[in-house]
Amino acid sequence: MTLDISQIRKDFPILDQQVYNKPLIYFDSAASSQKPLQVLKKEEQLYLEYYGNIHRGAHFLADKATNDYEAVRDQVAAFINASSREEIIFTKGTTESINLVAFSFGEAFINEGDEIIVSEMEHHANIVPWQMMAERKGAKIVMLPFDESGILCIEQLDELISNKTKLVAVAHIANTLGTINPVEEIIRKAHEKNIKVLVDGAQAIKHIPVDVAEMDADFYAFSAHKMYGPNGVGILYGKKELLEKMPPYQGGGEMISEVTFEKTTFNELPYKFEAGTPNITSVIAFGEAVKYLQNLNIEEAAAYENELLEYATKKLKEIPGMIIYGDHAKKSGVITFNVEGIHPFDLGTMLDKMGIAVRTGRLCADPVMDHFKVQATIRISFAVYNTLEEIDSFIQALNKLVPMLS
Protein backbone atom coordinates (compact mmCIF):
# COMPACT_ATOMS: atom_id res chain seq x y z
CA MET A 1 0.00 0.00 0.00
CA THR A 2 1.37 3.40 -0.92
CA LEU A 3 -1.16 5.62 0.84
CA ASP A 4 0.46 7.77 3.49
CA ILE A 5 -2.41 8.24 5.91
CA SER A 6 -0.59 10.63 8.25
CA GLN A 7 0.18 12.81 5.24
CA ILE A 8 -3.45 12.56 4.08
CA ARG A 9 -4.66 13.62 7.52
CA LYS A 10 -2.65 16.85 7.18
CA ASP A 11 -4.98 17.76 4.32
CA PHE A 12 -7.90 17.66 6.78
CA PRO A 13 -6.97 20.06 9.61
CA ILE A 14 -10.43 19.70 11.19
CA LEU A 15 -9.43 16.19 12.29
CA ASP A 16 -6.56 17.51 14.35
CA GLN A 17 -8.49 18.82 17.34
CA GLN A 18 -9.82 17.89 20.75
CA VAL A 19 -13.51 17.73 21.55
CA TYR A 20 -14.48 17.49 25.23
CA ASN A 21 -10.72 17.33 25.86
CA LYS A 22 -10.40 14.13 23.84
CA PRO A 23 -8.84 13.71 20.40
CA LEU A 24 -11.58 13.85 17.80
CA ILE A 25 -12.39 10.56 16.07
CA TYR A 26 -14.66 11.24 13.13
CA PHE A 27 -16.64 8.13 12.22
CA ASP A 28 -19.50 9.85 10.40
CA SER A 29 -18.20 10.24 6.86
CA ALA A 30 -21.19 8.43 5.34
CA ALA A 31 -23.32 11.36 6.54
CA SER A 32 -20.78 13.86 5.24
CA SER A 33 -17.06 13.60 4.73
CA GLN A 34 -14.59 16.23 5.83
CA LYS A 35 -13.03 18.49 3.18
CA PRO A 36 -9.34 18.70 2.29
CA LEU A 37 -7.49 22.02 2.24
CA GLN A 38 -7.36 21.88 -1.57
CA VAL A 39 -11.17 22.22 -1.69
CA LEU A 40 -11.33 24.92 0.98
CA LYS A 41 -8.58 26.94 -0.69
CA LYS A 42 -10.32 26.82 -4.04
CA GLU A 43 -13.50 28.27 -2.51
CA GLU A 44 -11.49 31.02 -0.88
CA GLN A 45 -9.55 31.75 -4.07
CA LEU A 46 -12.75 32.06 -6.07
CA TYR A 47 -14.30 34.52 -3.62
CA LEU A 48 -11.07 36.48 -3.28
CA GLU A 49 -10.06 36.58 -6.94
CA TYR A 50 -12.66 35.89 -9.57
CA TYR A 51 -16.18 35.46 -8.24
CA GLY A 52 -18.94 36.45 -10.64
CA ASN A 53 -22.27 35.04 -11.80
CA ILE A 54 -21.74 32.51 -14.55
CA HIS A 55 -22.98 32.24 -18.13
CA ARG A 56 -24.56 35.69 -18.39
CA GLY A 57 -21.82 38.11 -17.51
CA ALA A 58 -19.91 39.84 -20.27
CA HIS A 59 -16.92 40.62 -18.08
CA PHE A 60 -13.63 39.09 -17.01
CA LEU A 61 -14.73 37.67 -13.65
CA ALA A 62 -17.89 36.10 -15.02
CA ASP A 63 -15.99 34.59 -17.92
CA LYS A 64 -13.33 33.07 -15.73
CA ALA A 65 -15.89 31.67 -13.26
CA THR A 66 -17.95 30.28 -16.17
CA ASN A 67 -14.91 28.58 -17.68
CA ASP A 68 -14.00 26.95 -14.37
CA TYR A 69 -17.60 25.90 -13.68
CA GLU A 70 -17.93 24.29 -17.10
CA ALA A 71 -14.50 22.67 -16.78
CA VAL A 72 -15.77 20.82 -13.71
CA ARG A 73 -18.58 19.40 -15.83
CA ASP A 74 -15.96 17.95 -18.21
CA GLN A 75 -13.97 16.70 -15.27
CA VAL A 76 -16.99 14.91 -13.76
CA ALA A 77 -17.95 13.44 -17.14
CA ALA A 78 -14.44 11.96 -17.44
CA PHE A 79 -14.43 10.84 -13.77
CA ILE A 80 -17.50 8.61 -14.23
CA ASN A 81 -16.88 7.93 -17.92
CA ALA A 82 -20.03 9.61 -19.23
CA SER A 83 -20.10 9.78 -23.00
CA SER A 84 -20.70 13.53 -23.10
CA ARG A 85 -20.73 16.64 -20.91
CA GLU A 86 -24.44 17.10 -21.72
CA GLU A 87 -25.15 14.07 -19.56
CA ILE A 88 -23.85 15.80 -16.41
CA ILE A 89 -26.41 17.95 -14.58
CA PHE A 90 -25.41 19.96 -11.51
CA THR A 91 -27.96 19.75 -8.70
CA LYS A 92 -28.01 20.44 -4.95
CA GLY A 93 -27.26 16.84 -4.09
CA THR A 94 -28.36 13.24 -4.53
CA THR A 95 -31.80 14.06 -3.16
CA GLU A 96 -32.40 16.74 -5.76
CA SER A 97 -30.97 14.54 -8.52
CA ILE A 98 -33.45 11.78 -7.70
CA ASN A 99 -36.35 14.24 -7.33
CA LEU A 100 -35.46 15.63 -10.74
CA VAL A 101 -35.65 12.18 -12.35
CA ALA A 102 -38.78 11.16 -10.43
CA PHE A 103 -40.56 14.31 -11.59
CA SER A 104 -39.27 14.64 -15.09
CA PHE A 105 -39.00 10.96 -16.07
CA GLY A 106 -42.43 10.57 -14.45
CA GLU A 107 -43.89 13.34 -16.61
CA ALA A 108 -42.38 11.90 -19.79
CA PHE A 109 -42.75 8.17 -19.34
CA ILE A 110 -45.07 7.15 -16.48
CA ASN A 111 -48.77 6.52 -16.97
CA GLU A 112 -51.56 5.35 -14.70
CA GLY A 113 -51.02 1.76 -13.57
CA ASP A 114 -47.26 1.74 -14.31
CA GLU A 115 -44.89 0.32 -11.73
CA ILE A 116 -41.54 1.39 -10.25
CA ILE A 117 -39.42 -1.18 -8.42
CA VAL A 118 -37.59 0.29 -5.41
CA SER A 119 -35.29 -1.74 -3.18
CA GLU A 120 -36.08 -2.17 0.51
CA MET A 121 -32.65 -0.91 1.55
CA GLU A 122 -32.99 2.58 0.06
CA HIS A 123 -32.36 5.88 1.80
CA HIS A 124 -35.60 7.88 2.02
CA ALA A 125 -34.23 10.07 -0.80
CA ASN A 126 -34.65 7.10 -3.14
CA ILE A 127 -38.13 6.17 -1.93
CA VAL A 128 -40.15 9.29 -1.24
CA PRO A 129 -39.66 11.06 -4.63
CA TRP A 130 -40.97 7.90 -6.35
CA GLN A 131 -43.94 7.76 -4.00
CA MET A 132 -44.73 11.41 -4.71
CA MET A 133 -44.52 10.77 -8.45
CA ALA A 134 -46.61 7.58 -8.15
CA GLU A 135 -49.29 9.49 -6.26
CA ARG A 136 -49.38 12.15 -8.97
CA LYS A 137 -49.42 9.76 -11.90
CA GLY A 138 -51.50 6.92 -10.44
CA ALA A 139 -48.51 4.57 -10.57
CA LYS A 140 -47.47 1.91 -8.06
CA ILE A 141 -44.27 1.27 -6.07
CA VAL A 142 -43.17 -2.36 -5.85
CA MET A 143 -40.58 -3.30 -3.22
CA LEU A 144 -37.54 -5.47 -3.96
CA PRO A 145 -36.70 -7.04 -0.56
CA PHE A 146 -33.38 -7.94 1.08
CA ASP A 147 -32.58 -10.96 3.24
CA GLU A 148 -31.31 -11.23 6.84
CA SER A 149 -27.70 -10.70 5.75
CA GLY A 150 -28.65 -7.47 4.02
CA ILE A 151 -28.39 -8.94 0.52
CA LEU A 152 -30.91 -7.89 -2.12
CA CYS A 153 -33.10 -10.80 -3.28
CA ILE A 154 -32.43 -10.10 -6.92
CA GLU A 155 -33.64 -13.57 -7.87
CA GLN A 156 -37.09 -12.09 -7.12
CA LEU A 157 -36.59 -9.39 -9.70
CA ASP A 158 -37.86 -11.64 -12.51
CA GLU A 159 -41.14 -12.16 -10.64
CA LEU A 160 -41.50 -8.53 -9.62
CA ILE A 161 -40.92 -7.18 -13.10
CA SER A 162 -44.19 -6.98 -15.02
CA ASN A 163 -45.15 -5.47 -18.33
CA LYS A 164 -46.09 -2.36 -16.32
CA THR A 165 -42.58 -1.86 -14.85
CA LYS A 166 -40.93 1.30 -16.12
CA LEU A 167 -37.98 1.84 -13.80
CA VAL A 168 -35.89 0.21 -11.07
CA ALA A 169 -34.37 2.45 -8.36
CA VAL A 170 -31.52 0.98 -6.34
CA ALA A 171 -28.56 2.08 -4.21
CA HIS A 172 -25.08 1.18 -5.38
CA ILE A 173 -24.06 0.93 -1.71
CA ALA A 174 -26.70 0.97 1.05
CA ASN A 175 -26.15 3.69 3.65
CA THR A 176 -27.28 1.41 6.49
CA LEU A 177 -26.06 -2.07 5.61
CA GLY A 178 -23.04 -1.16 3.53
CA THR A 179 -24.07 -3.78 0.98
CA ILE A 180 -22.50 -3.27 -2.44
CA ASN A 181 -25.36 -4.16 -4.72
CA PRO A 182 -24.79 -5.98 -8.02
CA VAL A 183 -26.05 -3.01 -10.01
CA GLU A 184 -24.61 -4.30 -13.32
CA GLU A 185 -26.67 -7.47 -13.01
CA ILE A 186 -29.81 -5.55 -12.02
CA ILE A 187 -29.32 -3.21 -14.97
CA ARG A 188 -28.79 -6.12 -17.36
CA LYS A 189 -31.96 -7.85 -16.16
CA ALA A 190 -33.97 -4.62 -16.38
CA HIS A 191 -32.65 -3.71 -19.82
CA GLU A 192 -33.64 -7.13 -21.18
CA LYS A 193 -37.21 -5.93 -20.60
CA ASN A 194 -36.54 -2.37 -21.72
CA ILE A 195 -36.83 -1.03 -18.16
CA LYS A 196 -34.69 1.92 -17.07
CA VAL A 197 -32.53 1.94 -13.93
CA LEU A 198 -31.59 4.75 -11.56
CA VAL A 199 -28.61 4.03 -9.33
CA ASP A 200 -28.22 6.04 -6.13
CA GLY A 201 -24.46 6.37 -5.90
CA ALA A 202 -24.34 8.65 -2.83
CA GLN A 203 -22.40 6.13 -0.74
CA ALA A 204 -20.49 4.49 -3.57
CA ILE A 205 -18.84 7.37 -5.35
CA LYS A 206 -15.89 7.76 -2.97
CA HIS A 207 -15.47 4.04 -2.29
CA ILE A 208 -15.50 2.38 -5.71
CA PRO A 209 -14.53 3.48 -9.19
CA VAL A 210 -17.73 4.27 -11.07
CA ASP A 211 -17.97 3.78 -14.81
CA VAL A 212 -21.48 4.64 -15.94
CA ALA A 213 -20.82 3.46 -19.49
CA GLU A 214 -19.65 0.03 -18.44
CA MET A 215 -22.42 -0.24 -15.83
CA ASP A 216 -24.89 0.98 -18.45
CA ALA A 217 -26.88 2.92 -15.81
CA ASP A 218 -29.62 5.13 -17.22
CA PHE A 219 -29.29 7.54 -14.28
CA TYR A 220 -26.60 7.79 -11.60
CA ALA A 221 -26.95 10.26 -8.71
CA PHE A 222 -24.42 11.41 -6.10
CA SER A 223 -23.47 14.27 -3.74
CA ALA A 224 -20.19 16.19 -3.57
CA HIS A 225 -20.25 16.52 0.21
CA LYS A 226 -19.90 12.78 0.73
CA MET A 227 -16.78 12.58 -1.47
CA TYR A 228 -14.55 15.22 0.15
CA GLY A 229 -16.31 18.00 -1.75
CA PRO A 230 -18.32 21.00 -0.58
CA ASN A 231 -21.95 21.15 0.50
CA GLY A 232 -24.76 22.01 -1.81
CA VAL A 233 -23.63 20.28 -5.00
CA GLY A 234 -24.80 17.04 -6.50
CA ILE A 235 -24.58 15.33 -9.84
CA LEU A 236 -27.20 13.72 -11.92
CA TYR A 237 -25.80 11.63 -14.73
CA GLY A 238 -28.45 10.67 -17.26
CA LYS A 239 -28.27 9.12 -20.70
CA LYS A 240 -28.59 11.87 -23.26
CA GLU A 241 -31.36 10.19 -25.23
CA LEU A 242 -33.49 10.01 -22.05
CA LEU A 243 -32.68 13.50 -20.75
CA GLU A 244 -33.60 14.91 -24.14
CA LYS A 245 -37.09 13.45 -23.90
CA MET A 246 -37.64 14.64 -20.33
CA PRO A 247 -39.24 18.03 -19.59
CA PRO A 248 -37.47 20.61 -17.36
CA TYR A 249 -37.79 20.10 -13.63
CA GLN A 250 -37.73 23.77 -12.60
CA GLY A 251 -38.26 26.98 -14.53
CA GLY A 252 -36.16 30.16 -14.67
CA GLY A 253 -32.65 31.39 -15.42
CA GLU A 254 -30.32 29.30 -17.49
CA MET A 255 -32.88 26.68 -18.52
CA ILE A 256 -34.69 28.96 -20.95
CA SER A 257 -33.98 29.73 -24.56
CA GLU A 258 -36.63 32.39 -25.20
CA VAL A 259 -39.54 33.67 -23.15
CA THR A 260 -42.71 35.42 -24.25
CA PHE A 261 -45.94 35.53 -22.33
CA GLU A 262 -47.40 33.19 -24.94
CA LYS A 263 -44.67 30.57 -24.97
CA THR A 264 -41.24 29.71 -23.56
CA THR A 265 -38.68 27.57 -25.34
CA PHE A 266 -36.10 25.68 -23.35
CA ASN A 267 -32.33 25.60 -23.48
CA GLU A 268 -30.37 22.56 -24.59
CA LEU A 269 -28.83 19.92 -22.36
CA PRO A 270 -27.43 20.15 -19.77
CA TYR A 271 -28.75 23.69 -19.11
CA LYS A 272 -32.37 22.64 -19.55
CA PHE A 273 -32.14 21.14 -16.06
CA GLU A 274 -30.17 23.93 -14.37
CA ALA A 275 -32.62 26.71 -13.53
CA GLY A 276 -31.42 29.77 -11.63
CA THR A 277 -27.99 30.73 -10.33
CA PRO A 278 -26.29 27.48 -9.37
CA ASN A 279 -23.92 26.90 -6.48
CA ILE A 280 -21.01 28.37 -8.45
CA THR A 281 -18.41 28.35 -5.69
CA SER A 282 -19.12 24.83 -4.56
CA VAL A 283 -19.19 23.41 -8.08
CA ILE A 284 -15.80 24.94 -8.82
CA ALA A 285 -14.36 23.72 -5.51
CA PHE A 286 -15.88 20.30 -6.21
CA GLY A 287 -13.45 20.01 -9.09
CA GLU A 288 -10.66 19.95 -6.48
CA ALA A 289 -12.42 17.11 -4.62
CA VAL A 290 -12.61 15.06 -7.81
CA LYS A 291 -8.93 15.74 -8.40
CA TYR A 292 -8.16 14.78 -4.81
CA LEU A 293 -9.93 11.43 -5.18
CA GLN A 294 -8.20 10.75 -8.47
CA ASN A 295 -4.79 11.53 -6.95
CA LEU A 296 -5.54 9.25 -4.00
CA ASN A 297 -6.40 6.46 -6.37
CA ILE A 298 -9.88 5.17 -5.47
CA GLU A 299 -8.87 1.49 -5.69
CA GLU A 300 -6.11 1.99 -3.14
CA ALA A 301 -8.32 4.09 -0.89
CA ALA A 302 -11.05 1.43 -1.14
CA ALA A 303 -8.62 -1.35 -0.21
CA TYR A 304 -7.50 0.66 2.83
CA GLU A 305 -11.10 1.46 3.87
CA ASN A 306 -11.89 -2.23 3.53
CA GLU A 307 -9.06 -3.04 5.90
CA LEU A 308 -10.59 -0.60 8.41
CA LEU A 309 -14.02 -2.16 7.90
CA GLU A 310 -12.81 -5.74 8.41
CA TYR A 311 -10.73 -4.83 11.45
CA ALA A 312 -13.58 -2.89 13.10
CA THR A 313 -16.10 -5.66 12.33
CA LYS A 314 -13.84 -8.31 13.87
CA LYS A 315 -13.28 -6.21 17.01
CA LEU A 316 -16.96 -5.27 17.34
CA LYS A 317 -17.99 -8.93 17.16
CA GLU A 318 -15.91 -9.59 20.30
CA ILE A 319 -18.15 -7.26 22.33
CA PRO A 320 -20.89 -9.13 24.23
CA GLY A 321 -24.42 -8.41 22.98
CA MET A 322 -23.21 -6.92 19.68
CA ILE A 323 -25.71 -7.03 16.82
CA ILE A 324 -24.40 -5.94 13.40
CA TYR A 325 -26.96 -5.24 10.68
CA GLY A 326 -25.76 -6.39 7.29
CA ASP A 327 -22.91 -8.83 6.88
CA HIS A 328 -22.62 -9.24 3.14
CA ALA A 329 -19.11 -10.21 2.05
CA LYS A 330 -19.32 -7.40 -0.47
CA LYS A 331 -19.70 -4.50 1.90
CA SER A 332 -18.23 -1.04 2.09
CA GLY A 333 -17.85 1.99 4.25
CA VAL A 334 -20.32 1.54 7.11
CA ILE A 335 -21.10 -0.66 10.11
CA THR A 336 -24.55 -0.29 11.65
CA PHE A 337 -25.07 -1.95 15.01
CA ASN A 338 -26.77 -2.14 18.38
CA VAL A 339 -25.71 -3.59 21.69
CA GLU A 340 -28.37 -5.68 23.42
CA GLY A 341 -29.97 -3.87 26.33
CA ILE A 342 -28.46 -0.46 25.51
CA HIS A 343 -30.28 2.41 23.88
CA PRO A 344 -28.27 3.59 20.87
CA PHE A 345 -28.84 7.25 21.79
CA ASP A 346 -27.27 6.67 25.23
CA LEU A 347 -24.27 4.95 23.72
CA GLY A 348 -23.95 7.57 20.95
CA THR A 349 -24.06 10.43 23.47
CA MET A 350 -21.45 8.83 25.69
CA LEU A 351 -19.19 8.13 22.71
CA ASP A 352 -19.50 11.78 21.72
CA LYS A 353 -18.34 12.83 25.18
CA MET A 354 -15.29 10.65 24.56
CA GLY A 355 -14.55 12.51 21.32
CA ILE A 356 -15.99 9.87 18.99
CA ALA A 357 -18.50 11.13 16.41
CA VAL A 358 -20.95 8.41 15.34
CA ARG A 359 -24.42 8.53 13.82
CA THR A 360 -27.43 7.34 15.81
CA GLY A 361 -31.07 6.96 14.85
CA ARG A 362 -32.98 5.56 11.91
CA LEU A 363 -30.38 6.63 9.32
CA CYS A 364 -33.04 8.02 6.95
CA ALA A 365 -34.03 4.43 6.18
CA ASP A 366 -37.22 3.54 8.07
CA PRO A 367 -37.89 0.39 5.98
CA VAL A 368 -34.48 -1.01 6.98
CA MET A 369 -35.21 -0.30 10.66
CA ASP A 370 -38.63 -1.93 10.29
CA HIS A 371 -37.08 -4.95 8.55
CA PHE A 372 -34.89 -5.59 11.60
CA LYS A 373 -37.67 -4.45 13.99
CA VAL A 374 -35.47 -1.85 15.67
CA GLN A 375 -36.30 1.71 16.68
CA ALA A 376 -32.79 3.04 16.16
CA THR A 377 -29.19 2.02 15.58
CA ILE A 378 -25.63 3.31 15.78
CA ARG A 379 -23.58 3.68 12.61
CA ILE A 380 -19.85 4.16 12.21
CA SER A 381 -18.51 4.99 8.78
CA PHE A 382 -15.03 5.41 7.42
CA ALA A 383 -13.10 7.51 4.98
CA VAL A 384 -9.51 7.36 3.89
CA TYR A 385 -8.37 9.63 6.76
CA ASN A 386 -9.45 7.15 9.48
CA THR A 387 -6.94 4.84 11.13
CA LEU A 388 -6.70 1.44 12.82
CA GLU A 389 -5.61 3.28 16.00
CA GLU A 390 -8.88 5.22 15.97
CA ILE A 391 -10.74 1.92 15.78
CA ASP A 392 -8.75 0.64 18.75
CA SER A 393 -9.71 3.75 20.76
CA PHE A 394 -13.34 3.30 19.75
CA ILE A 395 -13.32 -0.36 20.84
CA GLN A 396 -11.68 0.62 24.15
CA ALA A 397 -14.43 3.19 24.66
CA LEU A 398 -17.11 0.58 23.97
CA ASN A 399 -15.45 -1.85 26.37
CA LYS A 400 -15.78 0.82 29.06
CA LEU A 401 -19.28 2.01 28.17
CA VAL A 402 -21.07 -1.28 27.44
CA PRO A 403 -20.77 -2.78 30.94
CA MET A 404 -21.64 0.63 32.41
CA LEU A 405 -24.82 1.09 30.36
CA SER A 406 -26.03 -2.54 30.27
In the complex, minimum distance from the CB of residue 121 to ligand PLP, in angstroms, rounded to a whole number: 9
In the complex, minimum distance from the CB of residue 389 to ligand PLP, in angstroms, rounded to a whole number: 27
Options 120-128, 134-142, 153-161, 179-187: segment touching ligand PLP (CB under 6 A) = 120-128
The gap from C-alpha 64 to its chain's centroid, in whole angstroms, comes to: 29
> Which of the residues 88, 205, 243, 364 is marked catalytic?
364
From the list 171, 199, 233, 285, which residue makes contact with ligand PLP (rule: CB under 6 A)?
Answer: 171
From the list 29, 33, 34, 95, which residue makes contact with ligand PLP (rule: CB under 6 A)?
Answer: 95
**Residues 176/121, Cβ–Cβ less than 8 Å:** yes
Establish if 180 lies at the interface with ligand PLP (CB under 6 A).
no
In the complex, minimum distance from the CB of residue 198 to ligand PLP, in angstroms, rounded to a whole number: 11
Establish if 183 lies at the interface with ligand PLP (CB under 6 A).
no
Which positions from 207 to 246 touch ligand PLP by CB under 6 A, shown as an x/- string? ----------------x-----------------------
From the list 125, 208, 235, 255, which residue makes contact with ligand PLP (rule: CB under 6 A)?
Answer: 125
Establish if 8 lies at the interface with ligand PLP (CB under 6 A).
no
From the list 94, 104, 338, 386, which residue makes contact with ligand PLP (rule: CB under 6 A)?
Answer: 94
- The footprint of ligand PLP on residues 314-373 (CB under 6 A) is 364
Q: What are phi and psi of 37, to 5 degrees?
A: -55, -35
Establish if 377 lies at the interface with ligand PLP (CB under 6 A).
no
Of 104 and 223, nearer to ligand PLP (C-beta) is 223
Is 153 designated active site? no
Of 332 and 338, nearer to ligand PLP (C-beta) is 332
Options 152-160, 198-206, 305-313, 322-330: segment touching ligand PLP (CB under 6 A) = 198-206
**Interface ranges with ligand PLP (CB under 6 A):** 93-95, 123, 125-126, 171, 175, 200, 202-203, 223, 364
Known catalytic residues are 364
